[in-house]
């Protein structure tokens, strides 16, 4: 590939300028890894899973189009890069090639306060967008814990979710339309509104496509007004089953609390208690209700009544408010584990009829068999839908030993966790995406449908340049 990359470099410099193209080794090293544990471990051992040969940071869509046209011509792999905050290895350039850093497309193009929409380029940073919207009394109600680093394009490409999703939906519910550059350089745009009957909704094909079908350059997204009131409650429940039933009933009745975050015993002790600054025990949940005060009052009252019906009771609401204020702190050092620890989040989703067996099977598969390693497993339920909910199962092994042993242990925990989820009818990811991490399980997850996805990929990217090795495609 050496000569193809050299030719691509020359052509790129001619078309989009030498100040946005680099093959400086130090620069390239910064793009070897997102936050996938296996890649971080490989890098620390001096043997990264991938490394780009070239990076381009175009400043506009024409630059992206030129890059994809030229890369296709020279058959050089392209890996789109947003903020590099992904947890699945989606942005790791496992086959080298061109790293297409989209952070140069950083314009907020327009805010329509009447329609409650924003049009933004893909590289706009999440935190910056939120600040600018808040100044106008608006918000993009997609609050992932990674907003500091992540981009609009990364939100969409990884099919993510934010802390307020129970009320406002996941990113796929917030995307109104997209502009995408395909391999070969063609620019396409989906219909300007998401509700229409002029054929299938093309934007959704690219939501969750993780850079394998094209580079998203622009999105129109749904906004919400900043709520007039945000009210908090903290509750404890007699069991996970009682909690699932209490909140299932709330969702079934049409209520949409913005936050329902229910922790199992271990997560209450190890994850919730340090955040709220008080040692809590048992199954606990922090709740948030927001919107117009009258509606908030009704929703809070009905939700707390449902908790009581299932044998739960209220704790100090100030605990939930403290959680809200400090909720991101624990994603930063010194609270995050570091190598040689092993960590990962097995996040799964299932209908209400299956979610409890999934929870118990996942816990049984990942907790006891690894007790000798000191594995901690913190499981909470944080995104609720009218038909089901999800489990965020964060495991940490304090000392994984040397890299070889660590990788073997890491992979075994994942295999066992995923097997338990499949065996009980769950789906292996709710919002972190697939990347490298879950690619080996895609055949099992999708069955024959993966073949259909591969044919779509082949039609849109006939030379297979877009993010090869990802999504199991
Ligand atoms: C501490 C921490 C907390 C997190 N919390 C959350 C959370 O609450 N919710 C959540 O959903 N996720 C969370 N994540 C995961 C991650 O931040 C999200 O998946 C995020 O949306 C990724 O955005 P990014 O811009 O960093 O994308 P990247 O990591 O750069 O890329 C992710 C994938 O999308 C592709 N991609 C990026 N931009 C484009 C584009 N413009 N066009 C086409 N493909 C593109 C990449 O090739 C890659 O496959 C968290 C991660 C960390 C480290």
**Which residue's CA lies nearest to atom 18 of ligand 1?**
86
Taking only the tens place, the pLDDT of each residue in 174-218 is: 999 999 999 999 999 999 999 999 999 999 999 999 999 999 999
Instruction: Count how many residues are written for the chain.
Output: 473
Q: Which of 158, 212, 437, 465 to mutate to test the pocket of ligand 1 (most atoms within 8 A of CB)?
A: 158
Among 56, 93, 122, 146, which is best to mutate for testing ligand 1, by the most ligand atoms less than 8 A from CB?
146
Q: What are the tens digits of pLDDT across the range 298-331? A: 999 999 999 999 999 999 999 999 999 999 888 8
| Cα(162)–Cα(150) distance, integer angstroms | 12
The CA distance from 153 to 105, in Å, is 10
- Residue 146 CB–ligand 1 contact under 6 Å: yes
Regarding the beta carbon of 432 and ligand 1, being less than 6 Å apart is answered yes
What is the pLDDT, as a whole number, of residue 212?
Answer: 98
Q: Is the CB of 158 under 6 A from ligand 1?
A: yes
Q: What angle do CA 67, 220, 184 make, to 5 degrees?
A: 20
- For residue 272, report the distance from its CA to the centre of ligand 1, in Å: 24
pLDDT (mean) for 142-164: 97
Strand segments, DSSP code E, in 157-299 are 175-181, 187-189, 215-222, 224-225, 229-237, 259-263, 283-291
Please choose from 55, 80, 216, 392 the residue to mutate so as to test ligand 1's pocket, defined by most ligand atoms within 8 A of CB. 80
Alpha helix stretches (DSSP H) within 396-447: 403-423, 442-446
Strands of the sheet containing 283-291, edge to edge, are 313-315, 229-237, 283-291, 259-263, 376-381, 388-397, 342-351
State pLDDT tens for residues 332-379.
877 889 999 999 999 999 999 999 999 999 999 999 999 999 999 999
Question: 362 alpha carbon to ligand 1 midpoint, in Å?
Answer: 25
Q: Which two tokens stand for residue 100?
A: 């297409």
CA 117 – ligand 1 centroid, Å: 22
- Of all protein residues, whose CA lies closest to atom 52 belonging to ligand 1? 146
Who's near 336: CB < 8 A, 6+ residues apart?
330
- The distance in angstroms from the start CA to the end CA of the chain is 22
CA angle 132, 133, 139 (to 5 degrees): 145
Q: Is the CB of 91 under 6 A from ligand 1?
A: yes
469: Cβ below 6 Å to ligand 1?
no
pLDDT tens figures, 66-81: 999 999 999 999 999 9
Q: What is the pTM of this model?
A: 0.97
Q: Cβ(121) to ligand 1 under 6 A?
A: no
Mean local confidence (pLDDT), 268-281: 96
Residue 327 CA: distances (Å) to CA of 260, 264, 285, 320, 348? 14, 17, 14, 10, 21
Using the mean position of ligand 1's atoms as its centre, give its distance from the Cα of residue 57 in Å.
18
Atom of ligand 1 nearest to the CA of 210: 49
State the average pLDDT over residues 122-133.
Answer: 98
Pocket lining: 210 vs ligand 1, CB cutoff 6 Å: yes
Q: Which residues pair with 288 in a beta bridge?
A: 232, 259
Cα-to-centroid distance, 177 and ligand 1 (Å): 19
State whether the beta carbon of 79 lies less than 6 angstroms from ligand 1. yes
Mutation test of ligand 1: which of 31, 32, 52, 86 has the most ligand atoms closer than 8 Å to its C-beta? 86
Handedness of CA 162, 165, 168, 173 (dihedral sign): positive
Nearest atom, ligand 1, residue 160 CA: 11
Assign 274 to helix, strand or coil: helix
List the structure tokens of 48: 């990264």
Q: How much is the pLDDT for 332?
A: 81
- Which pairing describes strands 54-56 and 98-101: parallel, antiparallel, or unpaired? parallel
Would you place residue 114 in the very low, low, confident or very high pLDDT band (cuts 50, 70, 90)? very high
């Amino acid at each position: 590939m050496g000569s193809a990359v050299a030719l691509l470099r020359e052509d790129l410099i001619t078309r989009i300028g030498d100040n946005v193209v680099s093959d400086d080794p130090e620069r390239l090293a910064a793009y070897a890894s997102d936050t996938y544990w296996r890649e971080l471990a490989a890098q620390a051992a001096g043997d990264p899973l991938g490394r780009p040969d070239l990076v381009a940071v175009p400043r506009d869509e024409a630059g992206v189009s030129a890059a994809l046209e030229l890369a296709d011509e020279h058959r050089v792999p392209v890996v789109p890069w947003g903020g590099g905050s992904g947890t699945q290895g989606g942005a790791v350039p496992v086959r080298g090639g061109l790293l297409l850093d989209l952070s140069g497309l950083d314009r907020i193009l327009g805010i329509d306060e009447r329609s409650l929409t924003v049009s933004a380029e893909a590289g706009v940073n999440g935190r910056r967008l939120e600040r600018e919207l808040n100044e106008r009394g608006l918000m993009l109600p997609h609050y992932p814990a990674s907003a500091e680093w992540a981009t609009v394009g990364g939100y969409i490409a990884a099919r993510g979710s934010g802390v307020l999703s129970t009320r406002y939906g996941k990113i796929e519910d917030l995307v109104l339309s997209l502009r995408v550059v395909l391999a070969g350089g063609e620019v396409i745009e989906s219909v300007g509104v998401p509700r229409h009957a002029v054929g299938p909704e093309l934007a959704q094909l690219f939501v969750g496509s993780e850079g394998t079908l094209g580079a998203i350059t622009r999105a129109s997204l749904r906004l919400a007004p900043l709520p007039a009131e945000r009210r908090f409650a903290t509750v404890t429940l007699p069991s996970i089953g009682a909690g699932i039933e209490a909140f299932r009933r709330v969702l079934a009745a049409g209520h949409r609390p913005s936050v329902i975050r229910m922790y199992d015993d271990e997560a209450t002790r190890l994850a919730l208690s340090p955040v709220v600054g008080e040692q809590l025990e048992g199954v606990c949940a922090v709740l948030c209700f927001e919107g117009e005060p009258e509606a908030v009052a009704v929703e809070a009252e009905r939700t707390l009544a449902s908790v009581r019906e299932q044998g739960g009771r209220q704790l100090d609401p100030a605990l939930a408010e403290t959680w809200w204020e400090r909720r991101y702190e624990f994603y930063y050092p010194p609270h995050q584990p570091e190598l040689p620890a092993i960590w990962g989040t097995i996040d799964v989703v299932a209908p209400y009829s299956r979610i409890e067996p999934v929870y118990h099977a996942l816990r049984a598969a990942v907790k006891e068999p690894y007790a000798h390693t000191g594995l901690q497993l913190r499981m909470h339920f944080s995104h609720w839908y009218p038909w089901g909910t999800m489990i965020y199962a964060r495991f940490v092994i304090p000392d994984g030993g040397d890299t070889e042993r660590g990788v073997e242990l890491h992979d075994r925990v994942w295999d066992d966790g995923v097997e338990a989820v499949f065996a009980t009818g769950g789906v292996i990811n709710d919002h972190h995406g697939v990347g490298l991490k879950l690619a080996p399980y895609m055949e099992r997850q999708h069955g024959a449908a993966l073949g259909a996805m591969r044919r779509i990929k082949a039609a849109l990217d006939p030379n297979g340049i877009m993010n090869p090795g990802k999504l199991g495609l």
